[in-house]
Each structure stands twice: as C-alpha cells, then as structure tokens.
Copies of this chain bind each other. A is one copy, B any other.
Amino acid sequence: MDFSKGLMAASTKPLILSVLKRGDSYGYQIIQNVKKLTGGTLKWSDGMVYPVLHRMEKEGFITSEWQGKPGEKLRKYYSITERGKQELIVEKEQWNFLHGVLSKFWEQSLT
C-alpha cells in the first residue's frame, strides 16, 4: 500500500506510543516491529522514524536511555512517560472520532 502523505505521518505518533506502552523499545526495533505487525504493509524508513522519536522526546512524551551489554551495539531505548500515556488517550479519542465521522459517510454510499 502506498500511503498518502498526511495519513502516514498522522499515524506514526499514536503507533509509536502504542508500541512503547507495551514495553520499552529502540528505534530500529520499533521499525521492524511495526513492519511485522502489519504484515509488511507499513514499511517505515529509519530517516522517517528517528526524527519523530527525537521530537516526541523533546515534547516529553517519551524518554530515552542508552543501553548495551558488553560486546553488543549500543541501543537507545525509549520509554513512554505519563504525559505520553495521556497523549495516547487523546490521540485515540481523536482517531475514533474522525473514523466515526468518516464511517458514517462510507456506510451510506457503498463505494
């Protein structure tokens, strides 16, 4: 699927927050995770995801910490914050609201 620009972007934030709510993770893993969870449909590029993570951290929705066992590459693990959880609730409400409005149209004329 080739997503229209706006939608793709609008989904990254809530999806990342949802992934992190399940448990801490790092950029590369989040990308693989989302790819797997969507059966390969959502293929996020790293250059697309990392800036979003940086921004979300700056906004206080997530925090980061470098971790690495000896002999392993360093990974930047992200955790969702309380503020992030609140934000996720809001985003969820907005998604559901808009989906509801659109669904109302789409139910009526079946195309």
Contact = CB atoms under 8 A, between A and B. Distances in A.
Contact of A7 (B1, B10, B41, B106): B10
A54 interface: no
Contact of A99 (B3, B37, B38, B99): B99
Q: Taking the full assembly, how many copies of this chain does it contain?
A: 2
A19 B37 CA distance: 33
Given A6-B6, A102-B15, A111 B97 contact: no
A14 to B, nearest CB: 6
Interface of A: 1, 3-4, 6-7, 9-11, 13-15, 18-19, 21-22, 37-38, 41-42, 85, 88-95, 97-99, 101-102, 104-106, 109, 111
